[in-house]
Chain A
Amino acid sequence: MLVILAGQEDRCASWLANRWKSSKVALLTSADLSRRGWRHHVPSSYMGAAVIDGHKVAVDTIAGVLTRIPCVYEHELGHIMPADRAYVASEMTAFLFAWLSGLSCPVLNRPTANCLGGPNWRRERWVRLATSLGIPALPVQRKVSQISDGLVEQPSCEVIVVGDRCFGNAAPALTSHARALAKAADVDLLAVQFNSPDAEGQFVSASLWPHLVCPEVADAVLCHLLGRAAC
């Protein structure tokens, strides 16, 4: 089965689950982490169990995971006493980090210590990575004083990377830059923004949360999770 780890109100996740229904897809939300049945071992010498959409499943039946949340949010834990929500959210997030990291199936994206969806870097970090790869980038200037705030650059072009495939109306050079950036960041799903779609366009920023409500992109994500070549 395929699993979409998402917030309870994530319409995109519901849309994807519906589009992929022939592939046996289920949504995993924070509510499932408050259900009897989870088992995760270190070392992983015993088979683990998960609870997905209310049903207990053996971990080895999971074929792929798409992660749509950076962490478990307190506001989704209405079934927990308010005084305990922050703590429970931290515990659930820490648990998911360990659990997702231990999966051997495709996971988009693999979690990092600060984000369940991959390296949730600040823009400065993405720019440093881009420049280290020789990708022209707009500098990031941030300033905090008593009278002014940081500057925000507005991208005008976005390339979405899904594994080896790229989507978006951009010059081939930018597509190549986007792919190189995703590879260097060790992620398979990335939205890469430039200030122009032309070959001279400069890198602005990157996001781990591309807009997936687009049939072409959604199908590419499905293929990646299923381990298939472009379909």
Chain B
Amino acid sequence: MLVLLWGLEADAPLAKVQEQLRLLGVPTKFIDQRSVLQTEVEFEANDGVEGFLRIRDESIDLGAVTAVYLRPYESVGLAEIASGGPQSRPWQHAAQVDDILMSWSEITPALVVNRCSAMAVNGSKPFQLEQIRALGWSVPQTLITTDPSAARAFWKHHGDVIYKSVSGIRSRVARLRPEHRERFSSLTFCPTQFQQYIAGTDHRVHVVGNEVFACEVRCSADDYRYATDDVPEVLACRLPSDLEDKCRRLAAAMQLPVAGVDLRRTPEGEWFCFEVNPSPAFTYYEQVTGQPIGQAVARLLAGARPATISRRGIGLTPEPAPAVNQLHTWLEDRRVRHG
């Protein structure tokens, strides 16, 4: 058994899982992206998948890896690499290391939490929402438009409407307010997403393999992640068992062994699903609720069966989209500007 962790040491979920794997006594190797310039990779794919990874004097047989936890950022974004530019040798080396490891993670028979191809669906919120709806969940009515009159009609029809980014770029969810009307002319330059506002109580549900950790988030802000005036109160809770099963099925259908599901329960008791986060930063919720999510992720990774050089049957799904983690707040503090 060998578990591979890939990312930055400072990443809280990665550090938590590493700590839990150590407590479980699971053999673990950490690929620190800060060492990317000292990292060498060899990889061969044919009817099997083989490879070696070396970081300085340490060598890792990729064929021996039974499970992987991925939390990488783009290595070329590291200051010492970015400063050289795309033509520099360090940039090209880092980009190649990332590319080969991404490629390997897509076809290795090891358990991968989560494969980039599965995570990429989160790069288009309306696409993912349609997928969620098709799996039997209630979802908010949504309009993506470049037409100010269509946006106005949608707003009028629903009374209360929020806006957020279309892509996976992290955005602050906010409600439309009268002062936004004057900015509607900007809609013409880029498709913008509007959603019916659903009143109710937010719930974050972490699905880890077969385990479900739910918490209720009490907060009056439109987006509790950015609440300043009303600090969110996060309380561990238990969902009805049929809803837990529905969350498990949702994560499984999306090929996500670990997922963060965003739900809202209306005052009438209806559950809406807004989004499924394929790389949840669970440590915040663990810290405030005491739920052992990191331990569950570690157990999931440790429980993966030894990898074999499989000659058949690797699931085939598309490849990754680049990770985007910029903060975006479109109508609030940034406009799409006409050049």
Chain B residues, Cβ within 8 Å of A97:
123-124, 127
Question: Of B190, B192, B324, which is in contact with the most chain A CB atoms at under 10 Å from its CB?
Answer: B190
Report yes or no: B143 in contact with A131, Cβ–Cβ below 8 A.
no
Chain B residues, Cβ within 8 Å of A129:
316
Report yes or no: B314 in contact with A128, Cβ–Cβ below 8 A.
yes
Report yes or no: A95 in contact with B147, Cβ–Cβ below 8 A.
no
From known contacts A43-B133, A127-B46, A137-B46, infer whether A113 and B321 are also in contact, taking CB-CB under 8 Å. yes
Least CB distance, B110 to chain A, in whole angstroms: 14
Report yes or no: A33 in contact with B190, Cβ–Cβ below 8 A.
yes
Chain A residues, Cβ within 8 Å of B334:
84
A88 CB within 8 Å of chain B: yes
Cα distance, A112 to B124, chains bound together (Å):
10
Chain B residues, Cβ within 8 Å of A95:
124, 126, 144, 166, 191
Report yes or no: B146 in contact with A38, Cβ–Cβ below 8 A.
yes
Cα distance, A19 to B315, chains bound together (Å):
39
Report yes or no: A80 in contact with B46, Cβ–Cβ below 8 A.
no
Cα distance, A149 to B100, chains bound together (Å):
11
Report yes or no: A113 in contact with B45, Cβ–Cβ below 8 A.
no
- Of B35-43, B209-217, B293-301, which binds chain A? B35-43
* CB under 8 Å from chain A, chain B span 30-77: 40-47, 49
* CB under 8 Å from chain B, chain A span 63-98: 78-84, 87-88, 90-95, 97-98
Chain A residues, Cβ within 8 Å of B313:
132
For A120, give its contact among B100, B317, B318 (CB under 8 Å). B318
Chain A residues, Cβ within 8 Å of B100:
142, 144, 150
Report yes or no: A142 in contact with B166, Cβ–Cβ below 8 A.
no
Report yes or no: A144 in contact with B97, Cβ–Cβ below 8 A.
yes
For B93, give its contact among A37, A40, A43, A144 (CB under 8 Å). A144
B233 CB within 8 Å of chain A: no
Chain B residues, Cβ within 8 Å of A137:
46-47
A141 CB within 8 Å of chain B: yes
For B167, give its contact among A39, A84, A94, A115 (CB under 8 Å). A94
Cα distance, A42 to B334, chains bound together (Å):
25
Least CB distance, B262 to chain A, in whole angstroms: 16
A101 CB within 8 Å of chain B: yes
Report yes or no: B189 in contact with A39, Cβ–Cβ below 8 A.
no
B1 CB within 8 Å of chain A: no
Interface size class, chain B:
35 or more
Cα distance, A219 to B251, chains bound together (Å):
42
Query: Could you tell me how many residues of chain A have their Cβ less than 8 Å away from some Cβ of chain B?
Result: 64
User: Chain A, 20-46, contact with B by CB distance < 8 Å: what is the 0/1 string?
Assistant: 000000000000011111111111100
Report yes or no: B46 in contact with A35, Cβ–Cβ below 8 A.
no
From known contacts A51-B146, A88-B190, A114-B120, infer whether A131 and B311 are also in contact, taking CB-CB under 8 Å. yes
A209 CB within 8 Å of chain B: no
A17 CB within 8 Å of chain B: no
Cα distance, A231 to B129, chains bound together (Å):
39
- Chain A residue with minimal CB distance to B326? A87
* CB under 8 Å from chain B, chain A span 99-152: 99, 101-102, 112-115, 118-122, 124-125, 127-129, 131-132, 137-146, 149-150
Chain A residues, Cβ within 8 Å of B142:
41-42
Least CB distance, A115 to chain B, in whole angstroms: 7
For A102, give its contact among B130, B166, B189 (CB under 8 Å). B130
A185 CB within 8 Å of chain B: yes
Report yes or no: A128 in contact with B130, Cβ–Cβ below 8 A.
no
B266 CB within 8 Å of chain A: no
Report yes or no: A80 in contact with B337, Cβ–Cβ below 8 A.
yes
Least CB distance, A19 to chain B, in whole angstroms: 30
Report yes or no: A39 in contact with B99, Cβ–Cβ below 8 A.
no
For B44, give its contact among A79, A83, A131, A139 (CB under 8 Å). A139
Question: Of B313, B317, B321, which is in contact with the most chain A CB atoms at under 10 Å from its CB?
Answer: B321
- Chain A residue with minimal CB distance to B336? A84
Chain B residues, Cβ within 8 Å of A40:
126, 143-145, 191
Report yes or no: A91 in contact with B93, Cβ–Cβ below 8 A.
no
Chain A residues, Cβ within 8 Å of B106:
121-122, 124-125
From known contacts A80-B189, A129-B316, infer whether A39 and B143 are also in contact, taking CB-CB under 8 Å. yes
Report yes or no: A39 in contact with B150, Cβ–Cβ below 8 A.
yes
**When A and B form their complex, which 3 residue pairs have the shortest distance between CB atoms, in order from nearest?**
A112-B318, A113-B120, A139-B46
Which B residues are within 8 Å of any A CB, using their own CB? 40-47, 49, 93, 96-97, 99-100, 102-104, 106-107, 117, 120-121, 123-127, 129-130, 133, 139, 141-148, 150, 165-169, 188-192, 311-314, 316-321, 324, 326, 328, 334, 336-339
Task: Pick 27 A–B contacts, CB within 8 A, sort by A.
Answer: A38-B146, A42-B141, A43-B133, A44-B130, A79-B338, A79-B339, A81-B337, A88-B189, A90-B167, A91-B191, A93-B167, A94-B126, A94-B166, A98-B130, A98-B166, A112-B319, A113-B321, A114-B320, A119-B317, A122-B103, A127-B45, A132-B311, A140-B46, A141-B42, A141-B43, A142-B100, A149-B96
With A90-B167, A141-B43 known, 8 other A-B pairs at CB within 8 A are: A38-B191, A39-B144, A40-B144, A51-B146, A113-B318, A114-B123, A121-B319, A131-B47
